[in-house]
Amino acid sequence: MKIVVTILIFLLYQGSYLNLLLAQEISATEIVRKTDEKFKGEQSGYSVMTMTIVRPSWQRTVEFKSWSKEEDYALTLITSPAREKGETFLKRKTEMWSWNPAINRLVKLPPSMMSQGWMGSDYTNDDILRESSVVSDYDHTIEGSETVDGHDCWKIKLVAKENADVLWGKQMWWIDKKEFIALKAELFDEDGYLVRSEKASELRMMDGRFIPTLIELVPAENEGYKTILKIVEIKFNIKIDESFFSQQNMKTIR
């Protein structure tokens, strides 16, 4: 009996020691990098999504397609509703534009518009066009471990670097240790006030990756407001050239 107890203690010690080694082998920045890349692809990506905007007295749904290449290029096409169908948004490095076919107008978006709600939702233009980077624009630290919906997660703090041009002064992410999925996030302004919370759910396999397909965003100060993002289709590391992300393609993409 004493031998069995000794073996159990040894195995428990070995398991704890192994977990400690694993924690030491991966940094907070690498955890955030893996999480970011898993959702959008290491090199490029394509997605079809629906976004439901919920308000106390009404709600509406917007459908769109998005293409991206690394952190420098992104193109988003609205496919529904009919009133906004064909509108596109383009990012090429530090420059961003919107195209409205109804009025045949191409508009360059200034940095000041990145904090505005995209298509009237609780998401910002920055969220959709990815002007800022959660990897390079923030310092990252592991704050501990917590359980979210039964998943063992790292609790990661992201603090904006001093000269970074970002919307959020601080972010808190809860990242699944096995799948590198951000299951929960809290975003704070420069003064440390909570602006919005996000919760990911409905995990499933898509294009060979286990990812959340439903994300609910809730503003902190607007009761009854939320935006629900649902992934219909997603592909990772597709073949796509930089020339795809052009003003000409904004007007012809379907």
Token pair, residue 205, equals 């396999």
Q: What is the reported pLDDT for 138?
A: 96
Fill in the amino acid letter for 15: G
**Which segment of 12-16, 67-71, 176-180 scores lowest on mean pLDDT?**
12-16
What percentage of residues in the chain have a pLDDT greater than 70? Answer: 90
At residue 221, the pLDDT reads 92
Q: What is the pLDDT of residue 130?
A: 66
Q: What is the pLDDT of residues 176-218, one digit of tens each?
A: 999 999 999 999 999 999 999 999 999 999 999 999 999 999 9
Give me the phi and psi of 220, to 5 degrees please. -75, -30
| Domains of the chain by start residue, with CATH | 26-252 (2.50.20.10)
User: Are 157 and 140 contacting, i.e. CB atoms less than 8 angstroms apart?
Assistant: yes
DSSP secondary structure string, the chain?
-HHHHHHHHHHHHHHHHHHHHHHHHS-HHHHHHHHHHHHH-SSEEEEEEEEEEEETTEEEEEEEEEEEETTTEEEEEEEESTTTTT-EEEEETTEEEEEETTTTEEEEPPGGGTTSBGGGSSSBHHHHHT-S-TTTSEEEEEEEEEEETTEEEEEEEEEE-TT---S-SEEEEEEETTT--EEEEEEE-TTS-EEEEEEEEEEEEETTEEEEEEEEEEESS-TT-EEEEEEEEEEES----GGGSSHHHHHH--
Q: pTM for the full model?
A: 0.83
- Nearest CA-CA partner of 196 in 175, 176, 167: 167
- 158 within 8 A of 186, measured Cβ to Cβ: no
For the chain, give the mean pLDDT: 88
- Are residues 45 and 234 in contact, defined by beta-carbon separation less than 8 angstroms? yes
Phi, psi of 227 (to 5 degrees): -130, 130
Whether the pLDDT of residue 70 is over 80: the answer is: yes
